Amino acid sequence: MMMVRKSKGLGERHQRILEFLQVYQRANKYPPSIREIGEKTGITSTSVVNYYLDQLEKKGLIERDRKISRGVRLSGMNGSADTLRIPILGPIAAGLPLPELDPNISYMTDSEANAVDIARSLLSSKEKGDNLFALEVKGESMIDAMINDGDIVVLKPATDARNGEMVAVWLPRDNEATLKYFFKEKERYRLQPANPTMKPIFIKKSEPLEIKGKVVLVIRRLDKVLAS
């Protein structure tokens, strides 16, 4: 099982609460209690938990029924109309090319093994869900961005990017795909890992480089969420 983490715009505690809500509800078929949310996200005060839940509710990311003890749930968890199935097109790893993405072709699949369901409420207003695709991360080059080996990244198709955006890139020179922060420099492109033990990749502007997509969501492995 996987769970969804919003890639930006929320604090770490907000993200951890969203993660736990989806993990717990999918595993148990009912929402957790306020105390359970606090215990699993490292918040000792139930009033502080309620503070963060209030903020998430105002953002439309959760729904609350204050008349019952387990009245918190992630928006869109009940009902397929509020969920979106994203196709997992394959791994992003050395030696494996990314598929060509045609905006006129649907990559949707009914196979659970090749797709992931997410709540539409986790997408920003700019990402409607059209033509989104997902890739399984191989390696640890983005661990400081909270992206680990085995995680899933959801991307929107793109052929260009601004400095600092996280992108999936196909490098014909090396016959490999990679997930990195993208930067345009004077004579070259810099693909920056989020791991201090790894060096950036430099590509001359005269060499081919194909941006395939920009990351909009990260889906973390369930075992890592429960262990954290």
Which pLDDT band holds residue 190 (cuts at 50, 70, 90)?
very high
pLDDT at 205 exceeding the cut of 80: yes
Among residues 37, 48, 39, which one has the least CA distance to residue 73? 37
**46-58 and 12-28 helices, crossing angle to 10°:** 90
- Angstrom distance (rounded) from CA 168 to CA 181: 9
Percent pLDDT > 90 in the chain is 25
Which pLDDT band holds residue 225 (cuts at 50, 70, 90)?
very low
- Angstrom distance (rounded) from CA 84 to CA 119: 6
Choice between 182 and 40, residue whose per-residue pLDDT is larger: 182
pLDDT value, residue 127: 65
Range with the largest mean pLDDT of 89-103, 116-130, 151-165: 151-165
pLDDT digit string, tens, across residues 173-189: 888 889 999 999 999 99
Q: How many CA atoms lie within 13 A of 196 on its CB side?
A: 0
pLDDT at 11 exceeding the cut of 70: yes
Q: What is the DSSP string of 13-62?
A: HHHHHHHHHHHHHHHHSSPPPHHHHHHHHT---HHHHHHHHHHHHHTTSE
Lowest mean pLDDT among 37-41, 50-54, 108-112, 155-159: 108-112
Residue 24 CA, chain-centre distance (Å), reads: 18
Q: Which amino acid, 195?
A: N
pLDDT at 223 exceeding the cut of 80: no
Among residues 128, 136, 130, which one has the least CA distance to residue 107? 130
Q: Is 180 a catalytic residue?
A: yes
Which pLDDT band holds residue 128 (cuts at 50, 70, 90)?
low
How much is the average pLDDT of 160-184? 91
Place of tokens 């045609």: 102
- Angstrom distance (rounded) from CA 22 to CA 37: 11
Q: Which amino acid, 150?
A: G
Among residues 129, 124, 201, which one has the least CA distance to residue 169? 201
Mean pLDDT over all residues of the chain?
A: 78
Choice between 86 and 200, residue whose per-residue pLDDT is larger: 200
Place of tokens 């997408």: 123
- Angstrom distance (rounded) from CA 28 to CA 12: 24
Q: How far is CA 76 from CA 24, 114, 167, 189, in A?
A: 15, 21, 27, 39
Catalytic residue among 6, 180, 212, 214: 180
pLDDT value, residue 103: 46
Among residues 227, 225, 228, which one has the least CA distance to residue 26? 225
Q: Is 111 a catalytic residue?
A: no
Residue 117 CA, chain-centre distance (Å), reads: 12
Catalytic residue among 40, 141, 212, 214: 141
In the chain, what are the domains? 2-78 (1.10.10.10), 80-226 (2.10.109.10)
Choice between 73 and 180, residue whose per-residue pLDDT is larger: 180
